[in-house]
Amino acid sequence: MYISLTCKVFAHKVFSLKLCPSFSLFAIMFQRNQAPATSSATAPEVEFLDDVQDMYAENVISAARATVLLKKAQNAGIKMAIKAVKKAPGVTKKTAKNFARNLRRHYRKNDKWPDPYWFQARVWDRVKDGEVTKKICILLPSEVLQTIWKFGVKEVLLGTGHYDKLTKDHHEWMKQQLNVQELLGFGLHGDGVPCNYDRTESANITSINLPGLTGRNGRLRIPLFILPDHCFSANTFDDIYEVIAWDLRSLLTGCQAECRHDTTPWDPTTDKRRSKLHGDRDFRACLVQVRSDWDWLVKCYHFPAHGTKEGMCWMCQCKRNQVPQQPRGGGASVRTI
């Protein structure tokens, strides 16, 4: 629940920049089932509290409404240890604005995930019909992996049993180049996800995973950034991946960053925790996989698109006009290598 809720709160922070019409359109990305998963041994008051929290995280109800429901449940005799309810006064215009803040603080009280990294990026404003600079946020891969390394089992995280041959060869080559015995391999996955009922709106997501894990752990994916597709201009991917590349270099060297990606000092408000980290990391890691469809490769990494005259093979320099056509049934022909 904590991972799911953190992703929702993180996404809500991104969408609160008014780069999209409503967060409720995007909440479904994190919920494959309409009902939250609960165990038969879960106490009824815990189930009720989880349901209310999920409805607030999915923007089904407001923070004020969620707080009132929890307060009424408490008055009815349901025991819930939540400060947001204990401090809740009568619902007035002056106090209602603090409900969302109090609930978010309560949800993240025992949250071990890192704070988002805020930076300026060029995005598309469809109201102004032009490119503008907005402040957006992402989760830094190094901080996500640091959290997993801290609470995970080292032997499991370093496993390579699920690598394919190319991934395993690249991982071994990187270990030789870095002259290390232990190297954590991770992957990035990018794709667009429909996020409304008629599939006319979508959000672009880049997530991180550990391809060496097997079984249930092999399905772990943690979103690094989530942005509506209509917010992407020709430069948005470049601005975002400039930050990601800066962070990945620190994983290769094994040293903590001493400043922001643009060499400016740490922000005293959003980078307070980062400014206290110095010296070497507890581990070193490298990127071993990048997975996405070809459309994402074209938009994000500037690969040549289908139908262009440039070569589009990742293993050779073959051009489209160099591929011979072979006859096929019905008078049609197909290009074959």
Q: Which long-range contacts (CB under 8 A, 24 or more apart) does 318-326 make?
A: none
For the stretch 50-86, pLDDT in tens is 788 778 777 788 777 877 787 787 777 766 555 555 5
Rounded (10°) angle between helices 236-253 and 141-151: 40
Taking residue 318's Cβ as centre, other Cβ atoms within 10 Å add up to 12
Tokens for 202? 């979508």
Instruction: Look at residue 13 in the predicted model and tell me its pLDDT.
Output: 37
> Is the four-CA dihedral 327, 329, 330, 332 of positive or negative sign?
negative
| pLDDT per position as a tens digit, 97-113 | 576 777 777 767 777 88
Q: pLDDT value at position 71? A: 78
State the pLDDT at residue 197.
75
Q: For each successive 10 residues of the chain (337 residues), what is the average pLDDT?
A: 36 36 34 47 75 78 79 73 51 58 71 89 93 94 93 90 91 93 94 82 92 86 92 93 95 92 92 90 93 88 78 73 65 48
Angle 259-262-267 from CA coordinates, rounded to 5°: 50
Tell me how far apart the alpha carbons of residues 281 and 256 are, in angstroms, rounded to a whole number. Answer: 6
pLDDT of residue 256: 92
pLDDT of residue 17: 34
The pLDDT value given to residue 329: 56
pLDDT of residue 331: 52
CA separation for the pair 29, 193 (Å, rounded): 7
pLDDT of amino acid 22 = 33
pLDDT digits (tens, 9 = 90+) for 322-335: 777 666 655 554 44
pTM exceeds 0.85 for this model: no
Joined together, the tokens standing for residue 70 give 């929890």
Q: Output phi, psi for 239, to 5 deg.
A: -65, -40
Q: By CB neighbour count within 10 A (0-12 exposed, 13-18 middle, 19+ buried), where does 93 fall?
A: exposed
Cα–Cα distance measured from residue 147 to residue 150, given in angstroms and rounded to the nearest whole number: 5
